[in-house]
């Protein structure tokens, strides 16, 4: 039983911190705070810089240009980046890339993998549709073989990275006669393909998202990933690559609230000296600590060659609901100031917790709703019946 | 190196402990122990000593096996699973303090199973903090005279020895705190058990001019707080482990029951409403286990790890309470019956939550530890 890093891992952690300190300019900090999930021009430059210096591929095998580091090292890296809200390449790096390594053609590997590693190629994940959310396998976007190409028709929604990506990693139905999980395939669709239209969606939490429409969009048959009709299998396989999840971003929310409590005087003493505020903050600190342990557990399991399953769902639920707890506590602690947006000079801590209040619902349904996650814990973790 | 699993030797220990407790401490035995004024089973204690459980965290030089607190934490989880009233974590925590105080003679007796010694730290104000400490210790002859009250002392009525905190001044500060060993049958000491929720016996100890000899002092007079503090942390880390074990067992019992219980022609476990409650219990059980194991690990390295300890105690208490309350809800009527095993855990969760600091007391300690 050991909860500590090795000296080598600590040295690596310091190396990551040094890199961040060297390149995190005030302008970049301002941009990542404003853009959240989306990546602005400075963020894009930063991702490319990471690519040039080899950071993006720290977990990729050496044969594909990565550093081949273990899960704990990757976790350390992701934690440090998350603590500063910095982009790390997202699903392109940890989902699409590894899928291409396993099932992509030699040409696809040559064409895409090196550019993913340098940050030149980014995929927007095109899975969700207006009528296919939690029940993703009922998606209706069609891809029909026509000679040497596929013709795509349909619509994707909440494709949050579409406006800053180079390609769409698209899930489309190739055989409507097969059972719903079996007639689906993955395609790589360049974003500038004629017939692909992106329409912006604004969110309550000030993130940018998108709808993507496909009208007779034609891609070469060589852009099919792996075999036709096996897309569902690849997608579920790819989920296993996405289970390294850092917790540190949430710690920054709590740190903001603690800063506020330390620096705000009420009834003649700082809020951090009021009993109920101390208890509320300590309760959140304990929850953040437990979240850190959930995150560490996933990394440790992957390091040992196990696939966290229910354990990843435990993290996801706890993370998303802790965002809510922090936002709700901020309401109580900040009072009326909690509802002032960042653009107003009266907003405490730059309006970051006000923004959290508007955006926390996102985390509870995105990336698998918490209801589906609870099903996974009950059914796969506790062995309760599937039906 | 991060390793959240047990070693091979620890896995074997866990298996043997679970087997032993299943055979020797089924709920019929727990029921008998709860009905017995002594509140624990000396026969079982002897067997635990024979298995080497009491030797676990002590060095070989003191008759132990040179294991660590982590091994004791593992056993605490198993005792929590079994919901067995027994002064194991108390004696281990007190014993490590006696070791610090150079009392290897007493440690040897603990290891042999001949001595039950428990910390007696709380009083009228049940928080284990300096300002709640009032018991007066006054030099008298070659020894000391103790006057005052200890309350909420687990197994205090039955222990051979009490590791008592008191103070040699009138202050509310750490300065003046003193650790003293008092024999359970010393003249002037009146012991009675309180009628408590948990069924693990909690005592009130009244000291009327209790006389001790000079050798009963542990550490230095007036400068005992650091030792008391370390004892509290070791004890609470093990207590969190015990609660984590209980939480896990309650979850298992509930999942098993809902898989078997049929209503409306299907098992309860097949209802999503039931699955989601169990999933929430699982999240809390996982968190309690990880936090408790981290606390035991941290205390093993540095007994002043207040943050890890109080985080674990607060979280495990929350988890155990939440799990037992939901477990009774999902069992329905049978879970509420005295003849069913769940009630042991339900009651124990309540007493363990409030003894040696409530959830809020520990959150306040976390607040201080994170610099608020």
pLDDT digits 0-9 by tens, B278-323: 999 999 999 999 999 999 999 999 999 999 999 999 999 999 999 9
Average pLDDT, chain B: 97
| Same domain assignment for residues A369 and A276 | yes
Is A20 part of a structural domain of the chain? yes
Whether A220 is in a domain gets the answer: yes
> A75 with A182, same domain?
no
Nearest to B291 among A293, A375, A387 (CB): A293
Q: What is the dihedral of CA A66, A72, A74, A75, to 10 degrees?
A: 170
- Two tokens, residue A61: 């095998």
Number of domains in chain A: 3
- Does residue A300 sit in the same domain as residue A215? no
pLDDT score for A36 = 64
Q: Has residue A131 been placed in a domain?
A: yes
Element (H, E) at B5: none
CA A150/CA A216 separation, integer angstroms? 9
Write the pLDDT tens digit of every residue in A112-148. 999 999 989 999 999 999 999 999 999 999 999 999 9
| Residue A263 shares a structural domain with residue A337 | yes
Contacts of A334 (CB under 8 A, 6+ apart): A260, A264, A348, A353
Which secondary-structure segment (H or E) carries A376? helix A370-376
The residue among A88, A107, A139 that closes a domain is A88
Q: How many whole angstroms separate alpha carbon B266 and alpha carbon A327?
A: 40
The per-residue pLDDT of chain A, averaged, comes to 95
The answer to whether residue A107 is domain-embedded is no
A296 contacts chain B (CB < 8 A): yes
Report the half-sphere exposure of B79 (CA within 13 A, side-chain side). 25
User: Is residue A234 domain-resident?
Assistant: no
**Residue A81 sits in the same domain as residue A36:** yes
Choose among A261, A294, A378: nearest Cβ to B275: A378
Search chain A and give the residue with CA nearest B318.
A283
Q: Return the closest-CA partner of residue B90 out of B157, B135, B189, B167.
A: B157
Number of neighbours of residue A334 by Cβ within 10 angstroms: 21
CB A50 within 8 A of CB A119: yes
Higher pLDDT, B225 or B67: B225
Residue with tokens 């009072």: A335
Q: Where are the alpha helices (DSSP H) in A180-339?
A: 231-239, 248-263, 275-303, 310-334
In degrees and rounded to multiples of 5, residue A342 shows phi and psi of -55, -30
How far, in Å, CA of B38 to CA of B193, rounded?
A: 9
pLDDT recorded at residue B138: 97
Q: What CATH number should be reported for the domain holding residue A325?
A: 1.20.140.10
B356–chain A Cβ distance below 8 A for any pair: no
- Alpha carbons A267 and A240: distance in angstroms, whole number: 52
Question: What is residue A120's three-state secondary structure?
Answer: coil
For residue A51, the domain's CATH number is 1.10.540.10
Task: Please give, rounded to a whole number of angstroms, the shortest distance from the CA of A13 to a CA of chain B.
Answer: 14
Phi, psi of B261 (to 5 degrees): -75, 125
| A7 at interface of B, judged by CB pairs closer than 8 A | no
Band of pLDDT at residue A278, cut at 50, 70 and 90: very high
Whether A263 and A361 map to the same domain: the answer is yes
Considering A44, A71, A88, which residue would you say is the last residue of a domain?
A: A88
Q: Do B366 and A374 touch (CB under 8 A)?
A: no
Taking the C-alpha atoms of B40, B251, A282 and A327 in order, what is their torsion angle to the nearest 10 degrees?
-160
Structure tokens at A386: 């599937």
Same domain, A258 and A371: yes
The CA distance from A27 to A30, in Å, is 5
Q: Domain limits at A75?
A: 7-88
Nearest to B282 among A1, A273, A381 (CB): A381
User: CB within 8 A of A14, min separation 6: which ones?
Assistant: none
- Among B367, B368, B370, B371, the strongest candidate for a mutation testing the A interface, having the largest count of A CBs within 10 A, is B367
> Residue A209's domain is classified under what CATH number?
2.40.110.10
Query: Can you read off the two tokens belonging to residue B250?
Result: 């309650």
Shared domain check, A204 and A161: yes
Q: Is A385 on the interface with B (CB under 8 A)?
A: yes
User: Tokens 């998202």 correspond to what residue?
Assistant: A209
Distance CA B12, CA B6 (A): 9
| B358 contact residues in A (CB cutoff 8 A) | none
User: CA Rg, chain A, in Å?
Assistant: 22
Residues 6+ apart with CB under 8 A from B51: B16, B17, B20
Chain A residues with beta carbon closer than 8 angstroms to that of B72: none
Instruction: Mark yes or no for CB contact A283/B363 under 8 Å.
Output: yes
Question: Would an 8 Å CB–CB cutoff place A371 in contact with chain B?
Answer: yes
| Preferred mutation among A6, A282, A308, A379 to probe B, highest tally of B CBs within 10 A | A282
**Number of other residues whose CB lies within 10 A of the CB of residue A36:** 18
Q: Which domains are seen in chain B, by residue range?
A: 8-114 (1.10.540.10), 119-223 (2.40.110.10), 226-369 (1.20.140.10)
- Do residue A274 and residue A365 come from a single domain? yes
| pLDDT band for position A44 (cuts 50, 70, 90) | confident
- Other CB atoms closer than 10 Å to residue A341's CB: what's the count? 12
Query: What local confidence, expressed as pLDDT, does residue A37 receive?
Result: 61
Does A39 have pLDDT greater than 80? no
A286 touches B at CB < 8 Å: yes
Q: Tell me the pLDDT tens digit for each residue of B346-366.
A: 999 999 999 999 999 999 999
Per-position b or e across A123-134, b if 16+ CB within 10 A of its CB = bbbbbbbeebbe
Q: In the predicted model, what is the mean pLDDT of residues A8-12?
A: 97
Which residues of A participate in catalysis according to the annotation? 242
Per-residue pLDDT for B10 more than 80? yes
- pLDDT (mean) for A21-40: 84
Biggest CA–CA distance in chain B, Å, is: 77
From chain B, pick out residues whose CB is under 8 angstroms from the CB of A375: 272, 275-276, 279
Residue B361 Cα distances to B62, B318, B357, angstroms: 35, 13, 5
| Residue A99, domain member (yes or no) | no
The answer for residues whose C-beta is within 8 angstroms of residue A223's C-beta and 6 or more apart is: A150, A187, A188, A189
pLDDT band for B66, please (50, 70, 90 cuts). Answer: confident
pLDDT at B67: 84
A4: chain B residues, CB-CB within 8 Å: 1-2
* CA nearest to B242, candidates B74, B359, B98, B96: B74
Closest CA to A231 of A172, A181, A186, A188: A186
Q: Do A279 and B298 touch (CB under 8 A)?
A: no
Q: What is the pLDDT of residue A32?
A: 85
* Contact (CB<8Å) A285/B370: yes
Q: Is residue A98 part of a domain?
A: no
pLDDT tens digits for B146-182? 999 999 999 999 999 999 999 999 999 999 999 999 9
Sequence-distant (6+) residues with CB within 8 A of A225 are A99, A100, A103, A104, A108, A185, A186, A187, A188, A231, A234
User: Looking at residues A334-343, what average pLDDT do you find?
Assistant: 95
DSSP letter string over B9-38?
A: HHHHHHHHHHHHHHHH--HHHHHHHHHSTT
- pLDDT for position A30: 86
pLDDT of residue A87: 87
Model confidence band, residue A243 (pLDDT cutoffs 50, 70, 90): confident
Cβ distance B267 to A385 under 8 Å? yes
The answer, for B9 touching chain A at a CB cutoff of 8 Å, is: no
pLDDT at A38: 65
Buried/exposed A80-97: b ≥16 CB within 10 Å, e otherwise: bbbbbbbbbbbbbbbbbb
Same-domain check for residues A13 and A41: yes
**Which of B248, B74, B16 has the alpha carbon at shortest distance from A381?**
B248
The length of chain B, given as a count of residues: 372
Question: Rounded to a whole number, what is the largest CA-CA distance in chain A?
Answer: 78
Our CA dihedral for B201, B206, B212, B217, rounded to 10 degrees, sits at: 60
- Cβ–Cβ of B297/A1 closer than 8 Å? yes
């Amino acid at each position: 039983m050991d909860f500590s890093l090795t000296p080598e891992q600590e040295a690596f952690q310091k190396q990551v911190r040094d890199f961040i300190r060297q390149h995190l300019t005030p302008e970049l900090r301002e941009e990542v705070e404003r853009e959240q999930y989306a990546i602005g021009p400075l963020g894009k430059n930063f991702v490319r810089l990471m690519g040039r210096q080899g950071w993006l591929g720290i977990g990729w095998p050496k044969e594909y240009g990565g550093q081949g580091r273990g899960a704990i090292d990757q976790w350390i890296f992701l934690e440090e980046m998350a603590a500063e809200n910095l982009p790390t390449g997202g699903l392109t790096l940890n989902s699409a890339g590894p899928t291409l390594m396993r099932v992509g053609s030699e040409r696809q590997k040559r064409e895409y993998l090196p550019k993913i590693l340098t940050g030149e190629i980014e995929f927007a994940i095109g899975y969700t549709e207006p009528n296919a959310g939690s029940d993703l396998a009922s998606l209706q976007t069609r891809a029909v073989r026509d000679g040497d190409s596929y013709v795509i028709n349909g619509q994707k929604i909440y494709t949050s990275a579409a406006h800053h990506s180079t390609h769409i990693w698209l899930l489309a139905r190739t055989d409507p006669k097969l059972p719903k999980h079996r007639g689906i395939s993955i395609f790589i669709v360049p974003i500038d393909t004629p017939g692909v239209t992106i329409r912006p969606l604004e969110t309550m939490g000030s993130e940018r998202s998108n709808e993507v429409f496909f009208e007779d969009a034609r891609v070469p048959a060589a852009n099919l990933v792996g075999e036709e009709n096996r897309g569902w299998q690849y997608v579920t396989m790819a989920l296993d690559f996405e289970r390294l999840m850092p917790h540190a971003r949430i710690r920054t929310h709590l740190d903001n609230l603690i800063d506020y409590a330390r620096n705000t005087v009420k009834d003649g003493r700082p809020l951090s000296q009021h009993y109920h505020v101390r208890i509320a903050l300590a309760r959140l600190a304990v929850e953040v600590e437990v979240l850190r342990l959930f995150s560490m557990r996933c990394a440790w399991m992957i390091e040992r060659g196990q696939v966290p399953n229910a354990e990843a769902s435990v993290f996801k639920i706890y993370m998303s609901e802790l965002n809510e707890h922090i936002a709700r506590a901020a309401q109580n602690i900040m009072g009326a100031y909690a509802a002032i947006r960042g653009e107003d000079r009266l907003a405490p801590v730059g309006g970051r917790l006000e923004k959290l209040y508007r955006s926390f619902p996102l985390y509870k349904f995105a990336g698998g709703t918490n209801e589906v996650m609870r099903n996974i814990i009950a059914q796969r973790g506790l062995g309760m019946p599937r039906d | 190196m991060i390793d959240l699993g047990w070693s091979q030797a620890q896995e074997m220990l866990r298996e043997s402990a679970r087997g032993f407790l299943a055979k020797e401490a089924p709920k019929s035995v727990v029921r008998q122990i709860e009905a017995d004024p002594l509140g624990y089973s000396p026969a079982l204690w002897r067997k635990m000593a024979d298995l080497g459980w009491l030797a676990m965290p002590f060095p070989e030089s003191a008759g132990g096996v040179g294991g660590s607190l982590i091994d004791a934490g593992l056993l605490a989880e198993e005792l929590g699973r079994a919901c067995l009233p027994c002064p194991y974590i108390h004696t281990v925590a007190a014993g490590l303090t006696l070791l610090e105080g150079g009392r290897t003679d007493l440690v040897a007796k603990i290891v042999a199973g001949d001595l039950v010694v428990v910390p007696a730290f709380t009083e009228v104000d049940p928080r284990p903090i300096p300002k709640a400490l009032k018991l007066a210790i006054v030099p008298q002859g070659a020894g000391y005279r103790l006057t005052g009250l200890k309350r909420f002392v687990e197994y205090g009525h039955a222990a051979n020895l009490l590791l008592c905190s008191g103070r040699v001044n009138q202050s509310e500060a750490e300065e003046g705190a003193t650790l003293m060993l008092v024999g359970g049958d010393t003249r002037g000491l009146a012991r009675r058990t309180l009628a408590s929720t948990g069924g693990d016996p909690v005592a009130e100890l009244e000291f009327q001019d209790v006389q001790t000899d000079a050798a009963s002092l542990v550490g230095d007079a007036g400068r005992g707080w650091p030792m008391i503090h370390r004892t509290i942390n070791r004890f609470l880390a093990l207590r969190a482990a015990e609660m984590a074990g209980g939480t896990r067992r309650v979850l298992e019992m509930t999942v098993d029951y809902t898989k078997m219980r049929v209503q409306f022609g299907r098992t309860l476990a097949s209802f999503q409403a039931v699955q989601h409650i169990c999933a929430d219990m699982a999240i809390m059980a996982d968190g309690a286990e990880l936090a408790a194991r981290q606390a035991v690990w941290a205390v093993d390295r540095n007994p002043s790890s207040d943050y890890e300890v109080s985080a674990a105690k607060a979280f495990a208490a929350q988890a155990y309470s939440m799990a037992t309350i939901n477990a009774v809800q999902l069992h329905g009527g049978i879970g509420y019956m005295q003849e069913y095993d769940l009630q042991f855990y339900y009651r124990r969760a309540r007493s363990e939550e409030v003894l040696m600091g409530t959830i809020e007391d520990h959150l306040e300690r976390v607040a201080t530890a994170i610099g608020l």
